[in-house]
């Protein structure tokens, strides 16, 4: 389970961008979106094309290298990590749409594809394509989006068993609604967006599930729902890592609580908090890596092994989210009253990790599915 070194250039670039993120970080919450200078730096660094196929000039990072990059971005700031995960993850569209279409889009370094799967629009056949109407919530990165992807069904039938299609829209076709007034991950700008009778050519759409990728790489053959979950699951662990780093810095420079002598880091209870947090983080991360490694192997084997691998990945994702929440909670609690001030990185981490773990991809209901199967019952759901 060795992570390749293709992440190294991106990790170095994040080191260079870190001062810019720190400079504007306070404004992310106030403006409810990232500062344009930060978005430009991320785009110029290639962070919104992490999964663009190598055949189209992209880095086509492995899922494991992708994890390292998104984690580090989330350690610097939860909203930054979230948009790197979402934007970089959506560049995998290069494996699904005609290469001529994707190359045209990604000629612009600022291309950022907003995706939303929390609702289903209506697509009606039109000459050479479809006309779509719908409104989708949780459009992460909407203020910076150049293209938008929403799920649709054909002909207005939105029954659960109807096939879903991914339709892509240009920014000029989209109306963004200012709905992102939330507690955590404010800087992601994840507002609702809408289209009304927007024309989508046939080459700008593909099935959501069971599509045949245009690219042969393993990355594009991994089941779509699993890839989707992966782009989300790696963020909370990055937020937790950032909280641990902030706490360690605080403990090395602050005196202990009233009635105690020396620095915080000199107290055994503080040492134990960090030691336990490190253990929890490493174990959750290892489970997530192991689950993805097995999924990569099982993708071309198929059958029950692939079903089991998909379930295991979702279990690992939910576990990673829960563990990240525990870590952030523990270090914020030990930091005391100082962690409730907006000037504290821990205050932001608490809110961001709570928001991140509310995502459907990290839903703990997956434990019910896993438990049912272990007990000899059916899964109880058609999707996980």
1: pLDDT confidence band, cut at 50, 70 and 90? very low
Residue 35: closest CA among 179, 112, 184, 143: 143
Q: Let me know whether 286 and 353 are in one domain.
A: yes
**Per the domain annotation, does 132 fall within a domain?**
yes
**Per the domain annotation, does 380 fall within a domain?**
no
Q: Would you say residue 321 has pLDDT above 90?
A: yes
Tokens of 362: 């990290």
Query: Cβ(154)–Cβ(130) under 8 Å?
Result: yes
Q: How many CB atoms lie within 10 A of CB 118?
A: 14
Q: Let me know whether 12 and 130 are in one domain.
A: yes
**Per the domain annotation, does 379 fall within a domain?**
no
What does the pLDDT read at residue 264?
Answer: 85
What does the pLDDT read at residue 260?
Answer: 63
**Per the domain annotation, does 156 fall within a domain?**
yes
Tokens of 315: 């279990």
* Count of residues in the chain: 384
The CATH number of whichever domain residue 300 belongs to comes to 1.20.140.10
Mean pLDDT (whole number) for 287-313: 96
What does the pLDDT read at residue 159?
Answer: 77
Q: Which residue has the tokens 């005196």?
A: 255
> Strand order in 165-170's β-sheet?
175-177, 191-201, 129-139, 113-126, 147-154, 165-170, 205-207
d(CA 179, CA 122): 22
**Per the domain annotation, does 384 fall within a domain?**
no
Helices 345-356, 224-253: crossing angle, 10 deg rounding: 160
**Per the domain annotation, does 236 fall within a domain?**
yes
Q: Would you say residue 266 has pLDDT above 90?
A: no
d(CA 43, CA 47): 6
d(CA 11, CA 7): 6
Residue 360: closest CA among 152, 119, 182: 119
Q: Would you say residue 370 has pLDDT above 50?
A: yes
Q: Would you say residue 259 has pLDDT above 70?
A: no
* Half-sphere exposure of residue 257: CA atoms within 13 angstroms, side-chain side: 9
Q: Let me know whether 154 and 278 are in one domain.
A: no
Q: Let me know whether 158 and 262 are in one domain.
A: no
339: pLDDT confidence band, cut at 50, 70 and 90? very high
Mean pLDDT (whole number) for 165-182: 97
**Residue 178 parent element (H or E):** none
Q: Let me know whether 111 and 252 are in one domain.
A: no
What does the pLDDT read at residue 382?
Answer: 62
Q: How many CB atoms lie within 10 A of CB 218?
A: 16
Residue 69: closest CA among 84, 86, 59, 54: 84
Domain end marker among 200, 217, 234 = 217
Mean pLDDT (whole number) for 305-320: 96
Q: Between residues 268 and 15, which one has the greater pLDDT?
A: 15
Q: Let me know whether 129 and 244 are in one domain.
A: no
Q: Let me know whether 74 and 138 are in one domain.
A: yes
**Residue 97 parent element (H or E):** none
Percent over 90 (pLDDT), the chain:
84
The CATH number of whichever domain residue 135 belongs to comes to 2.40.110.10
Residue 204: closest CA among 140, 146, 126, 149: 149
Q: Would you say residue 280 has pLDDT above 70?
A: yes
338: pLDDT confidence band, cut at 50, 70 and 90? confident
What does the pLDDT read at residue 163?
Answer: 87
Q: Let me know whether 12 and 139 are in one domain.
A: yes
In the DSSP assignment, the letter for residue 195 is: E
**Per the domain annotation, does 350 fall within a domain?**
yes
Domain end marker among 194, 217, 240 = 217
Query: Cβ(203)–Cβ(166) under 8 Å?
Result: no
Q: Let me know whether 173 and 273 are in one domain.
A: no
Q: Let me know whether 114 and 235 are in one domain.
A: no
Q: Would you say residue 56 has pLDDT above 70?
A: yes
Q: Let me know whether 157 and 26 are in one domain.
A: yes
- How many domains, the chain? 2
Whole-number average pLDDT of the chain: 93
Mean pLDDT (whole number) for 211-235: 92
Its domain, for residue 74, covers 1-217
Q: Let me know whether 180 and 272 are in one domain.
A: no
> In terms of DSSP bridges, do strands 147-154 and 129-139 run parallel, antiparallel, or are they unpaired?
unpaired
Q: Would you say residue 50 has pLDDT above 50?
A: yes
pTM: 0.94
For residues 69, 74, 76, 77, the Cα torsion angle rounded to the nearest 10 degrees is 150
What does the pLDDT read at residue 29?
Answer: 94
Query: Cβ(165)–Cβ(154) under 8 Å?
Result: yes
Mean pLDDT (whole number) for 34-39: 98
d(CA 257, CA 264): 8
Mean pLDDT (whole number) for 292-314: 96
Domain end marker among 195, 217, 239 = 217
**Per the domain annotation, does 121 fall within a domain?**
yes
């Amino acid at each position: 389970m060795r992570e390749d070194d293709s992440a190294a250039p991106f990790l170095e670039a994040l080191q260079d961008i870190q001062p810019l993120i720190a400079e504007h970080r306070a404004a992310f919450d106030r403006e409810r979106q990232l500062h344009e200078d930060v978005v430009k730096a991320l785009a110029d660094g290639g962070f919104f094309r992490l999964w663009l196929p190598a055949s189209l000039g992209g880095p086509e990072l492995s899922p494991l290298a992708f994890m390292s990059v998104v984690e580090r971005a989330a350690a610097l700031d939860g909203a930054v990590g979230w948009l790197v995960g979402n934007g970089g993850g959506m560049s995998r569209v290069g494996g699904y749409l005609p290469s001529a279409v994707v190359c045209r889009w990604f000629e612009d370094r600022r291309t950022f594809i907003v995706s939303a799967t929390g609702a289903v629009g209506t697509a009606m056949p039109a000459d050479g394509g479809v006309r779509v109407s719908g409104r989708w919530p949780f459009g992460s990165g909407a203020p910076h989006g150049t293209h938008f992807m929403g799920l649709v069904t054909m002909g207005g039938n939105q029954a659960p068993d109807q096939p879903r299609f991914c339709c892509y829209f240009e920014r000029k076709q989209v109306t963004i609604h200012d709905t992102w007034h939330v507690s955590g991950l404010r800087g992601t700008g994840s507002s609702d967006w809408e289209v009304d009778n927007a024309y989508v050519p046939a080459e700008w759409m593909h099935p959501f599930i069971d599509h045949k990728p245009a690219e042969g790489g393993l990355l594009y053959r991994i089941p779509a729902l699993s890839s989707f979950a992966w782009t989300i699951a790696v963020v909370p662990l990055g937020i937790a890592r950032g909280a641990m780093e902030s706490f360690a810095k605080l403990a090395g420079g602050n005196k202990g609580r009233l009635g105690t002598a020396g620095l915080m880091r000199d107290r055994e209870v503080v040492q134990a908090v960090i030691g336990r947090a490190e253990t929890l983080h490493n174990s959750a991360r290892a489970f997530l890596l192991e689950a993805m490694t097995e999924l990569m192997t099982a993708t071309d084997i198929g059958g029950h092994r692939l079903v089991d691998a998909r379930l295991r990945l979702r279990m690992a994702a939910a576990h990673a989210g829960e563990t990240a929440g525990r870590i952030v909670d523990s270090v914020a609690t030990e930091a005391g009253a100082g962690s409730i001030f907006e000037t504290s990185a821990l205050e932001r981490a608490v809110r961001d990790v709570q928001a991140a773990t509310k995502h459907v991809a990290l839903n703990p209901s997956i434990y019910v599915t896993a438990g049912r199967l272990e007990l000899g019952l059916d899964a109880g759901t058609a999707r996980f």
